[in-house]
Amino acid sequence: MNNILNQIGIENYIFLSVILFCIGVFGVLYRRNAIIVFMSIEIMLNAVNLLFVAFSTYHQDAQGQVFVFFSMAVAAAEVAVGLAILVSIFRNMDTIDVGNLKNLKG
Amino acid sequence: MIRIPDFANATPIQIIFCVLAVITLFTAFMTIYSRKPMHSAIYLLICFTSITGHYLLLNSQFLAMVNLIVYIGAIMILIVFTIMLMNLNKENEVYKPRITRLGAIVTFCLMCLVLIAMFINSKPIVGEYTTTGEDYQSIKVLGKVLLNEYMVPFEFASVLLLVAMIGAVLLSKKEKTTK
C-alpha cells in the first residue's frame, strides 16, 4: 500500500491543523457565549488530533493513534463535566455570558 | 521544502483533500461566526464529519469510527441537548467591546503567521515518504498496542470516565437546600 502522504504532503496537514487551531483560539477570544467557547475548545482538540494522526502516518507508527484515542477519552470527560458546570451556572445566574461571571473579581 | 500542488493535474486524492480542508476550515469559522448557538452546533457537526473524512483519507479506520461515535454521536448530542435544555437559541448575545474583538482578530493573524512561519522554517521534510508496508493502524494492531504497552493508561481512562460521570451527575443535580 503506498503512502498517502506521497500525494498530499505532511506540510499541508500541518498548515490545516495550525489554521484550525488558530480558529479555535479566535473563537475563545471573540465570543461571550460559554457554549460557543466550549465548541472552540473542541475545535482546538480536533486540530491537534488530526496532526497526531498525520504524523502517525508519516512515521508509520501506531503510538500516535493510541494517543489520539486517549485524548478523545479525556475530551469526552471534559465535555460532560463542563456542560454540567454550565447548566448549574445557568440555573444560578440565568445567563451563560462569560462576561457576567466576575464574582471572583476583587 | 514546501511543495506547491499543481492544480492542473491533481490526483483524485489531492482533490478530496482540498475539498475536505475547505469544508473543515469554513465550517469551523462559521461555528464561531454564526449568531445562533444551534446553527453553531450544526456547523460544528459538519466540521467533525469532515475531520472523520480526513482520518479515512489517512487510512486510520479505527480512529475514524471512534471519532464518528464519540464526537458526532456523544459530544454533539450533549451540546445540542444543553442548548435546548437552557433555551439558549436566542440572538441577544452582547458582543465584546470593539477593542477586545480587534485584539482577537490580531491574535488570530499573528498566531497563524508565527506558527506557519515556524513550521516552514523548521527542519525541511524530505520529499519521499517511507513506506514499510507493515500494517500499523488496523484495529488488530492498535488493540495489541493499547493492551500491551498502554495497559495502565487505558485502565486509568476508564477511571477518569467514571469520575467524570459521577461529577456530572453531582454537579447538575438540583440542590434541595435552596428551596
pLDDT in tens, A25-60: 999 999 888 899 999 999 999 999 999 999 888 888
Contact, B145 vs A51, CB < 8 A? no
Are residue B63 and residue B13 in the same domain, yes or no? yes
Report the gap between the CA of B39 and the closest CA in chain A (Å): 11
Residue in chain A nearest B120 by alpha carbon: A11
The tally of domains found in chain B comes to 3
Chain A residues near residue B22 by CB distance under 8 angstroms? none
Whether B103 and B21 share a structural domain: no
Q: Domain residues for B6? A: 1-92
State which residues of chain B have pLDDT below 70. 1-9, 88-93, 123-128, 130, 176-179
Q: B45 — contact with chain A (CB < 8 Å)?
A: no
Over the stretch B37-54, which tens digit does the pLDDT of each residue have? 899 999 999 999 999 999
- Same domain (yes/no): B80, B142: no
Confidence label for A103 from pLDDT (cuts 50, 70 and 90): confident
ipTM score here? 0.91
Using CB atoms and an 8 Å cut-off, which of residues 5-44 of chain B contact chain A? 5, 11, 13-14, 17, 21, 24-25, 28-29, 31-32, 37, 40-41, 44
Residue B71 shares a structural domain with residue B44: yes
Contact B137, B66 (CB under 8 A): no
Q: Is there a contact between B136 and A61 (Cβ–Cβ < 8 Å)?
A: yes
Structural domain contains residue B179: no
What is the pLDDT at residue A24?
Answer: 94
Same domain? B51 vs B69: yes
- In which domain, by residue range, is A47 found? 9-97
**Residue B128 counted as domain residue:** no
Contact yes or no for B168/A80 (Cβ under 8 A): yes
A20 in any annotated domain: yes
Q: Is residue B7 part of a domain?
A: yes
C-alpha distance from B131 to closest chain A C-alpha (Å) = 6
Domain assignment present for A104? no
- 50-109 in chain B: CB under 8 A from chain A: 51, 54-55, 57-60, 62-63, 66-67, 70-71, 74-75, 78-79, 82-83, 85-86, 88, 93-96, 100-101, 103-105, 107-108
CA A104 to chain centre: 27
Per-residue buried b or exposed e for B75-90, using 16+ beta carbons within 10 Å of the residue's own CB: bbebbbebbeebebee
Q: Do the Cβ atoms of B75 and A31 come within 8 Å?
A: no
Looking at residue A53, which CATH number applies to its domain? 1.10.287.3510
Interface test with B, best of A39, A63, A93 (most B CBs within 10 A): A39
CATH code for the domain in which residue B40 is found = 1.20.120.1200
- For chain A, the domain total comes to 1
Query: Is residue A102 assigned to a domain?
Result: no
State the Cα angle at B152 between B147 and B156, rounded to 5°.
115
Q: What is the CA radius of gyration of chain B?
A: 22
Question: Is the CB of residue B4 less than 8 Å away from at least one CB of chain A?
Answer: no
B130 belongs to a structural domain: no
Q: Looking at the structure, do residues B4 and B53 belong to the same domain, yes or no? A: yes
Reported as a single tens digit per residue, the pLDDT across B3-15 is 555 666 678 888 8
